[in-house]
Structure 1
Amino acid sequence: MSTETGIWVRRFQPAPAPRTRLICFPHAGGSASYFHPVAKELSPRLDVLAVQYPGRQERRHEPCIEDIGVLADHVAEELLPLADQPMAFFGHSMGAVVAFEAARRLMARDVSPLVLFASGRRAPSCLRTETVHQEGDRALIAEVRRLGGTDSRMLDDPEIVDMILPSLRGDYTAIMTYRCPADVRIDAPIITMVGDSDPHVSMDEAMRWKEHTSGPFELQVFPGGHFYLNSQAAAVMRTITENIFR
């Protein structure tokens, strides 16, 4: 199988005869390449693909999409042709919500993922008052530092900061203005994955993903903060494969 894909979806490793596709959705400010190690580890058992949002890497000259619903509309259309094989979704932080909304749209087209792994994000209907997307650049970068997902040396480089700020602000605007009614559900099972010291997700907020599926639900808790998956990669990938191939 070729690694060639369109601008919305990246394939980093060939998967000659995969049984299932794993679609990965990045966090706010993140890019498809964040999931390159996942593709390297899980291919060829899984055809691992990662969504590439506008405004970063090779799409850096495109305007960011500051609305989760609009972003999910585009992603769902791009994923529809890939539904010739079973798909599982993994989304981290903002990506968990984009994956959920894409699943809603695909469900309306009689396509549903095998499972949604919702990582590092409170349930769609759980609201917090958040305003960092309306604040200055220093506040936004300070928030990224606090969450610990980006090498601090990169954040000390003014050229790199200038390059990533537009996608950060666009994504933070999208996720912090996102709203979802409490009664919205998908029919795919949801497995919520969270770090035990994540400042953005309480255990109660993680458990409330249960309200957004008509199928099975499970909560998996790992040691670590918002980017627990960086240090728990092996356990996370084991959880993914065990649940896809059970």
Structure 2
Amino acid sequence: MKPSPWLVRSGNSEHARLRLFAFPFSGGSASSYASWRKWLSPQVELLCVQPPGRGMRMAEPLIRDIDAMLTQLLPELLPLLDRPYLLYGHSNGALMAFSAANRLLQLGAPAPRAIALSAKCSPTVDRPRERVSELPDDRFLAKLRSLDGTPRELLNDPEVMQLFFPALRADFALGENFRLPPLHPDLARIPALILAGEQDETRVEDVFAWGDLFADAQRAAMTGGHFFINTNPGFARKLDAFVRAHCAPQTEPVPG
């Protein structure tokens, strides 16, 4: 199959029992989840979404709307749904993963075995949304520092940060422009894992509200801030167990 610029693949695709599609957070890219290969089950093929404006796609136009992004992404993803799959998204990536699941069902595609969402306020929560994408540079930089997901050496280099600002602002706009769309009735039947950081600026209960959209939702609060996925080893164990539990039935049992 011809490689897609939208998806960076990792793992043995020929023998994988399940494909895990991972959607990046604001400022993230396909490389943000590359280290997961060390601990994911060898039965899982990891496919990381690579939006325009980063990596090998640096020269491509940025996208500020999730619907527009999915219109381009889903034709690349559909041919890969010939085996069981799971969707994951962190922060703004949670909105992308959720929206992708809904759009795929509307297209008549096979449903994901499960979905995992972390560190994002549910769109069902009625709270004012800060327009971070429109903040002046100094306040925008302060916001990035508070999230603690950008390396300090980059934050302390004004010239480098000016290069990253357009892509970062476009990513924040993705979330700020998002509105809950009409939902396919089968969406609620997808098993879900909802993860929140106990020290995150986003309130745990607002993240857990995602679970109200699913009939079968596990919720877990994890020690750490917005990027607990990078600092809490328990995250890897939690997600790996969830992924293994939704592999094809013939896969090895979930470790106790």
**Same fold? TM cut 0.5:** yes
Shift of 1:16: 4.3
Whole-angstrom CA distance in 2 between matches of 1:56 and 1:137: 20
1:175 maps to: 175
Shift of 1:131: 1.8
1:121 maps to: 120
Residue 219 in 1 paired to residue 219 in 2? yes
1:243 maps to: 242
Whole-angstrom CA distance in 2 between matches of 1:244 and 1:26: 18
2:105 and 2:184 in contact (8 A); partners too: no
1:6 maps to: 4
2:248 maps to: none
1:206 and 1:219 in contact (8 A); partners too: no
2:23 and 2:97 in contact (8 A); partners too: yes
1:64 maps to: 62
SS of the residue 2:27 aligns to: coil
SS of the residue 2:194 aligns to: strand
SS of the residue 1:10 aligns to: strand
Counterparts of 1:146-157 in structure 2, within 5 Å, are 146-157=146-157
Whole-angstrom CA distance in 1 between matches of 2:192 and 2:70: 18
Whole-angstrom CA distance in 2 between matches of 1:139 and 1:13: 40
1:190 maps to: 192
Whole-angstrom CA distance in 1 between matches of 2:237 and 2:227: 17
SS of the residue 1:153 aligns to: helix
SS of the residue 2:101 aligns to: helix
CA displacement, residues 66-90 of structure 1 (integer Å, 9 cap, x when unaligned): 1112112322222111101111111
Most deviating of 77-86 and 90-99: 77-86
Structure 1: tracts of 5 or more residues without a match: none
Shift of 1:182: 8.7
1:141 maps to: 141
Shift of 1:198: 0.8
Shift of 1:161: 0.8
SS of the residue 1:42 aligns to: coil
2:251 maps to: none
SS of the residue 2:219 aligns to: strand
1:73 and 1:105 in contact (8 A); partners too: no
Amino acid at match of 1:125: T
Whole-angstrom CA distance in 2 between matches of 1:104 and 1:65: 20
2:192 and 2:211 in contact (8 A); partners too: yes
Amino acid at match of 2:195: M
SS of the residue 1:84 aligns to: coil
Q: CA RMSD in A?
A: 2.0
Change (3 A) 1:120 1:182: farther
Amino acid at match of 2:115: L
TM-score, structure 2 normalization: 0.87
Whole-angstrom CA distance in 2 between matches of 1:33 and 1:58: 11
1:75 and 1:102 in contact (8 A); partners too: no
Amino acid at match of 1:139: R
Change (3 A) 1:141 1:40: same
Shift of 1:148: 0.2
Amino acid at match of 1:122: C
Whole-angstrom CA distance in 1 between matches of 2:36 and 2:88: 11
SS of the residue 2:221 aligns to: strand
Whole-angstrom CA distance in 2 between matches of 1:237 and 1:112: 24
Most deviating of 181-190 and 222-231: 181-190
CA displacement, residues 26-68 of structure 1 (integer Å, 9 cap, x when unaligned): 0011111011101233252210110001111211111111111
Most deviating of 32-41 and 69-78: 69-78
Identity %: 32
SS of the residue 1:145 aligns to: helix
Most deviating of 151-160 and 90-99: 151-160
1:78 maps to: 76
